[in-house]
Amino acid sequence: MSEVKMEDIVSLAKRRGFVYQGSEIYGGLSGTWDYGPLGVSLKRNIMNLWWDMFVDSRDDMYGVDAAILMNQKVWQASGHVDTFTDPLVECGECKSRFREDQIDTSKCLNCGKEGSFSEARQFNMMFKTNVGPVDDESSVSYLRPETAQGIFTNYRNIVDSFYPDLPFGVGQVGKAFRNEISPRDFVFRSREFEQMEIEYFVHPGNWEESFEHWRQQVWEWLKALGLPEDKVHELEVPEEDRAHYSKRTIDFEFDYPIGRKELLGLAYRTDFDLMNIQNSAGKSMEYTIKGTNEKFVPHVIEPSFGVERALMAVLVSSYREDEQNGEKRVFLALPHHLAPVKYCVSPLLKNKPELVEKAREVYQALKKKHGNVMWDDNGNIGKRYRRQDEIGTPYCVVIDFDSLEDNTVTIRDRDTTEQKRVTISEITE
């Protein structure tokens, strides 16, 4: 496979209705993206896969869906109000602002003026807002910068409702917001994005075992996304680069066309968050081992997954170009379980009512079985195949005159382009 270029991914994503610039019609809003019909389907397939793997199919996991707006005390106790910052520098000439750790020049990237940057100051990345009609300090809230805190603040509720054995975990999928100084690289660094997070509560003496367990689970996840193993790298994050709450972090990095960058993180958060809540809310976060008097505040292993970065890695690793009958072909070799459209159904000719009728029958039967099935009777068959290849549809089914006689159809494979004859019941039952 030749090197995939970022422009190819961005262009295909826009052209075929995966991802559009947010508020594009008004000139856009930097760091925001809208998901089109195929993008939303791909994104949901990724999130559903995650939920199936890490919540539904496990006995030790619970799900939550906490409010995005939370009491400001959550973010004071968690340390985000004081420390969730990036270093910001401003150009004295054109007033453009940059993240200091992302520039390696003393020349302004906007106006080119040499030595015009201010001293760095810490810029808090949380979006601040006010809840209710009174605009004062007591009504301040923030759009959550991580879904994790909605889990920690519900830890006591879950323990009291379900009496889970330790270790157990809580998973959440939802929006997170960060006022990134320089959003960039397509959806990679967005201001509004989606996280899939697990807080896994463990006995303090067993954190290493659980850390290792989740490290292996992360690799299972990467396999399920269809990412080539040699494109993913573990980075043991040194202490000075770790988040304020972490005693150990492994970043799982992916070879994106923009370089090797963080895809997801695995952190040991100790009892940092539960202790902060205990101290600031004045409620016990202790867990008592059943049948004993052993009490302690659990420690936490946190695998934290970003949906957009997973989606971008999936698009990059499934993007292919080859040549068919002397013509360049672009296709997405998406794993079948992630493909937004599972089958495309066409009548050979759209002006033959008997073919259309039969094709509609097959279409309905496939739709009943697979949900996301597309109907396409535009242009010639070759063009239909190209369109479906570009959006990663694994199979195209064509109904022709023989289908009327013997109930067989032509089914074409996206990756090999091979066509074969199968009976309708073989694919619909």
Residues making contact with ligand GAP (CB under 6 A): 146, 148, 178, 180, 189-190, 193, 195, 197, 262, 264-265, 302, 304, 306, 308-309
Q: How far is the CB of 262 from ligand GAP (least distance, A)?
A: 5
Question: Of the two residues 193 and 395, which places its CB atom closer to ligand GAP in the complex?
Answer: 193
Q: How far is the CB of 16 from ligand GAP (least distance, A)?
A: 22
**Residue holding tokens 């304020």?**
244
Q: How far is the CB of 189 from ligand GAP (least distance, A)?
A: 5
Which residues are CB-contacts of 257 (< 8 A; sequence separation ≥ 6)? Answer: 3, 4, 5, 6, 9, 316
Question: Of the two residues 299 and 309, which places its CB atom closer to ligand GAP in the complex?
Answer: 309
Question: Of the two residues 181 and 355, which places its CB atom closer to ligand GAP in the complex?
Answer: 181
Q: How far is the CB of 312 from ligand GAP (least distance, A)?
A: 9
Q: How far is the CB of 238 from ligand GAP (least distance, A)?
A: 15
Please provide the DSSP assignment of 373-403 as one string. Answer: EEE--SS-HHHHHHHHHHHT-SEEEEE-HHH
Q: Which residue is at the shortest CB distance from ligand GAP?
A: 306
Question: Of the two residues 257 and 360, which places its CB atom closer to ligand GAP in the complex?
Answer: 257
Element counts in the chain: helices (H) and strands (E): 13, 24
Beta bridge partners of 347: 399
Question: Of the two residues 101 and 165, which places its CB atom closer to ligand GAP in the complex?
Answer: 101
Please tell me whether residue 132 adopts helix, strand or coil conformation.
coil
Question: Of the two residues 68 and 365, which places its CB atom closer to ligand GAP in the complex?
Answer: 68
Q: How far is the CB of 62 from ligand GAP (least distance, A)?
A: 17
Rounded to whole angstroms, the Cα distance separating 330 from 388 reads: 10
DSSP for residue 63: E
Q: Burial, 340: exposed, middle or buried (Cβ in 10 Å; 0-12, 13-18, 19+)?
A: buried
Rounded to whole angstroms, the Cα distance separating 93 from 84 reads: 28
Q: Contact 399/413 with Cβ under 8 angstroms?
A: no
Rounded to whole angstroms, the Cα distance separating 414 from 326 reads: 17
Question: Of the two residues 243 and 349, which places its CB atom closer to ligand GAP in the complex?
Answer: 243
Q: How far is the CB of 11 from ligand GAP (least distance, A)?
A: 20
